[in-house]
Amino acid sequence: MKQDGFQRTVKLQRIEREIGDAPSIGHVDRVFGKERPKGMLRKRRRGASKHGNGDTKKQKLVIMTWSLVFAAVVVGIVIVLMALRLHSSSREKIAGMPTSESPGNDLQEDSRLGGTGSGKGEISEDDKRVVSRFPSPSKDVALSLVKRAMLIRDPSQVEESFRVGSATPAEVAGFLKDMAVTDGPIKGYDWRSSMDANGLLLDGVLVTTKIGDKQRNRLALLTPDDKGTWRVDFEAFARTVTPSWNEILSGGAGKGIVRILFVKDNYYNGPFGDESQWTCFRLGSPDLNDDILGYCPTHSPQAAALELILANAPSRSKRKSPVRAVLEIQRTKGAEARQFEITRVLAEDWVRSADPFDQ
């Protein structure tokens, strides 16, 4: 072959061999790696792959780094959610019935009072109706009865629609008139179906009011009298407390009858410091700025009654949500300002019957 005017030749060297010698391809360098240390071979191979696979390793490193970052973010979110849930369960709140500017009330009334929220002692449409010698009112009839009762301003008409209890007809009429100022105008009615409490058949209608930007609720509990006439229990509707909360909290009253919501608690201090001797409950009300604590002897009828109320609450309410009850409480010497002894459990829910519940 000619190239650039020169002729190149390849001279082959013929190697003479004797019979039995191995074939030879002439003088060439040793095959790479032959008779070289294995360490040097591995080192060279690693060096060679370093340049060939560098980009791939960088991509893998980036992917691994972002995967770790994403996993850390997910774990952090889960931890925060769990912490929030534990905090809310330890201090369960029933929102929707604000009655003061203070944010310290942990047991305010549920905005649905037995809806899909967290209110305990709820009136659920899934609950079976109690067998009664009087038929329960239909949804439309119950709503009509409550709407008519809310319009009463004449004391002479009160007993047609209300079970007055310890109140007078004039006091009931005055309360209904003042409610437009204290709670705001009525914005709606929500039928809450039937429930059995204290051996009574009750039908509930939630009355929703609004004052400013705050929604408030009251529960109208209907129950039949001996003649089968369904009327609203005024004391339950007004959340009547005897004497007033101010007198009870100030220590001016030795005992008080209160309508509260309660959950189990575990704060033991002062004269109630021995948790083997006392059972603790957190008590709240939409009419209180802050919760109070109630204690009863662990093996007392009162402790058994409160445990029974919790056990009988609808299944959706057994998640440490508050339950309604009527209690008798009293101040104990040496107790903190908001510690009280529970001396009687008078009613399951807020409608009292002839017999105390703890009997």
* pLDDT digits 0-9 by tens, 159-172: 999 999 999 999 99
Residue from 216, 221, 256 nearest 236 by CA: 221
Could you tell me if 121 and 326 are in contact, meaning their C-beta atoms sit under 8 angstroms apart? no
Helices of type H across 91-221:
139-150, 158-161, 169-182
User: Whole-number mean pLDDT of the chain?
Assistant: 77
Topology of domain 139-238, CATH: Nuclear Transport Factor 2; Chain: A, (3.10.450)
How much is the CA Rg of the chain, to the nearest whole Å? 40
Provide the pLDDT for residue 272.
97
Could you tell me if 112 and 95 are in contact, meaning their C-beta atoms sit under 8 angstroms apart? no
With tokens 């209890």, the residue in question is 165
Could you tell me if 234 and 172 are in contact, meaning their C-beta atoms sit under 8 angstroms apart? yes
Mean pLDDT check: name the lowest of 84-98, 255-269, 275-289. 84-98
What tokens does 212 get?
Answer: 């400013």
Name the amino acid, one letter, at 268: Y
Measured between alpha carbons, how far is 25 from 130 in angstroms, rounded to an integer?
108
Q: In what order do the strands lie in the sheet with 162-163?
A: 162-163, 230-233, 214-224, 200-211, 186-197
Cα of first residue to Cα of last residue in the chain, in angstroms, is: 123
Could you tell me if 262 and 252 are in contact, meaning their C-beta atoms sit under 8 angstroms apart? no
Could you tell me if 145 and 189 are in contact, meaning their C-beta atoms sit under 8 angstroms apart? no
- Give residue-wise pLDDT tens across range 92-101: 433 333 333 3
- Give residue-wise pLDDT tens across range 32-76: 444 444 454 444 444 444 455 566 777 778 788 888 888 888 888
111 pLDDT above the threshold of 90: no
Name the amino acid, one letter, at 353: S
For the segment 15-32, the average pLDDT, to the nearest whole number, is 48
Name the amino acid, one letter, at 264: K
With tokens 């009293």, the residue in question is 330
Specify the CATH class of 245-348 in words.
mainly beta
Residues of the chain with CATH 3.10.450: 139-238
SS3 of residue 261 by DSSP: strand
Residues of the chain with CATH 2.40.50: 245-348
Give 336's strand partners.
none
2 pLDDT above the threshold of 60: no
Q: What is the pTM of this model?
A: 0.65
Residue from 179, 120, 198 nearest 356 by CA: 198
- Give residue-wise pLDDT tens across range 199-210: 888 999 999 999
Residue from 222, 226, 236, 233 nearest 141 by CA: 222
What tokens does 75 get?
Answer: 């774990």
338: how many CB neighbours lie within 10 A of its CB? 14
